[in-house]
Amino acid sequence: MAALTVNLVLATLVAVCYGRFDPLQHSGPASPYFDAPSQFGIDSSTPSQCVVDSAAYIVRHGSRYPEPGSFAGWQALFAKLQNATYTAHGPLAFLPSWVVPVDDAPHQPLYLTSTGAGEAFKLGVDLRKRYRFTPGGDNFTVWAAGQQRVVDTSAYFLQGYLSQGNYLAAPPENRGIVVAMPDSVNYTFADSLTPSNGCPAYKGGDTSAKATTFRATYQGKIAARLNRYLDGLALNASDVGTMQDLCGFQAEVSGDTRFCDIFEEEEWNDYEYAHDLNYYYGSGPGNPYSATVGFPWLQAVTGLLASAPNASAGGNATFVPPALVMSFTHDNNLPPVVAALGIWNTSDARGVYPLSPSRADARRTFRSSYLVSFLGHVALERLSCDAHAPSSAVRHTAGQVVAAAGTSAGAQKYVRIRINDAVVPVPGCASGPGSSCPMEGFVKHVQARGAVAGDFVERCGLQGVANATGTLDIFTKVPSADAETFTLLAPQANALVPVGL
């Protein structure tokens, strides 16, 4: 046991010191959650003279089983491997004994894996500790697109976030409330956590087929290399696609990483770049309608951050959202927020964007693995900062708790964007502590981006459509006309029953 621990520690040290290549951090949307590396050299911890006093997140659901389409691909691979008589050598020697890692086929596809549940719970724990916003006993409301895996992610998040002390004897306290929005429908328009489905023009801007073309340039070569280890069976390009997907998915289902080990670093980089092209041109800055679709969320949370506390903006608002606004959705609704923000498509490296359809440029900072991994998220944090870092000698007067950093009357407000933990600077606005953007500068930036995004109703081609709206107001209208709100007791009421009594 001690030897095993030592080995694990050593392996971790080696990985940290030598940056060993990890396919699970280059698997795009099949990657389990990991903190993205700092691509801009900015420390993600809150600067010492600041405190985060409000934040808004948009989060992809946690790791899940395959969707039915890719599940069919796994089954086809299994049939091919089982239907043939052949000898598999070396790195492929495991193929004859490999079975599809789904043990409840009618049920599991589409739903969270235990890894996904754990990722969501851990995010709840991490944000509770990071911000310390919700005192024990308080209720906490989150918003989720309505598909089961997204709602489940929000519920596991709440379990982690609200698991503080024990409120089982006080059921009205420490309640989690989930506002579940209709998912992937076309009648809620921008007032949705899946607005891409509410914008008819958006599909026409999707040129993600570039990813398919790119895959055709490398998958056949990989199959030919692997086939040297097989006598009596030939893998082809589609088998390679399925097997690379299985690295991440099987790791998440059962911890089995054998598919991760059979491909080379360059092969993973090609696989990752195909995902980058898919998201960049499908739902990211390469689709001319992405910014339009992502802007309503950005506009709504910018309004909340600019006016917090008591952010409800008047009008028909009925609800004051918490200082931490959590919204849960699907992968394809994160890149539009990136496009709306105008980040990852502006680079000092000329010629990087739009992404080349045929050649990965190492200078690009748009990386699908750092955005749409499972539980991937875009966060905006509002920092309240003193003018100077705290002094190294602090005088205490008996009976008076010294005010914490960022809470003085003169504290100024700033915004930072954090994507999968890493700080991504606001273009042209990074003069504040920790490369943050002063609040007025951020509001100006968002206004300028609004002009690029254009009017949702008009650009999406919804003029004259009944109820069409370009405004997302679900954070201040609770209950919303379309949502199904439900309450989750957290921690759940599974009180200990003494055995034998």
Ligand X SMILES: *[C@@H]1O[C@H](CO)[C@@H](O)[C@H](O)[C@H]1NC(C)=O
- Where does this chain bind ligand X (CB under 6 A)? 79-80, 83, 137-139, 172-173, 175, 186-187, 200, 236-239, 285, 291, 309-310, 315-316, 339, 342, 345, 353-354, 452, 465-467, 481
In whole angstroms, the minimum distance from the beta carbon of 47 to ligand X comes to: 25
Catalytic entry in 61, 330, 377, 445: 61
Distance in angstroms (rounded) separating the CA atoms of residues 116 and 490: 18
User: Is residue 98 a contact partner of residue 250, using CB atoms and an 8 Å limit?
Assistant: no
Q: Are 385 and 412 in contact (CB under 8 A)?
A: yes
Q: Between 83 and 397, whose beta carbon lies closer to ligand X?
A: 83
Compute the least distance from the CB of residue 500 to ligand X, in Å. Answer: 35
Rounded CA gap, 404 and 44, in Å?
19
Are 311 and 304 a contacting pair, CB within 8 Å?
Answer: yes
Pairing of strands 324-329, 50-60: parallel
Nearer to ligand X, 11 or 452 (CB): 452
Q: Pull the structure tokens for residue 110.
A: 């589409």
Q: Which is nearer to ligand X, 33 or 74 (CB)?
A: 74
Considering the complex, state which of residue 200 and residue 390 has its C-beta at the smaller distance from ligand X.
Answer: 200
CB atoms under 10 Å from CB of 224, counted, come to 14
CB of 178 to ligand X, least distance (A): 13
> Between residues 145 and 308, which has the closer beta carbon with respect to ligand X?
308
Is 473 among the residues known to form the active site? no
Q: What's the closest the beta carbon of residue 16 comes to ligand X, in angstroms?
A: 35
Amino acid at position 165, single letter = G
Strand partners, 476: none
Rounded to the nearest 10°, the torsion over CA 441, 445, 448, 450 is: -130
Select 273 or 374, whichever has its Cβ closest to ligand X: 273
Give the residue at shortest CB distance from ligand X: 315
For residue 197, the minimal CB distance to ligand X (Å) is 9
245, 270, 331, 386: the catalytic one is 331
- Note if 61 is an active site residue: yes
- Could you please report the per-residue DSSP string of 78-99? HHHHHHS--EE-GGGTTGGG--
CB of 464 to ligand X, least distance (A): 10
E runs forming strands in 430-490: 437-438, 484-489
Residue 325 tokens, joined: 């606004």
- Quote the least distance from Cβ 229 to ligand X, whole Å: 17
Write down the residue that tokens 């370009």 correspond to: 470
Q: Cα angle vertex 222, ends 270, 22, to 5°? A: 50
Tokens of 352: 């990087």
CA angle 464, 304, 389 (to 5 degrees): 150
What would the DSSP string read from start to end of 117-154?
HHHHHHHHHHHHHHH--S-TT--EEEEEESSHHHHHHH
In the bound state with ligand X, the residue whose beta carbon lies nearer, of 40 and 486, is 486
Dist CA 102 CA 109 (whole Å): 8
Catalytically annotated residues: 61, 331
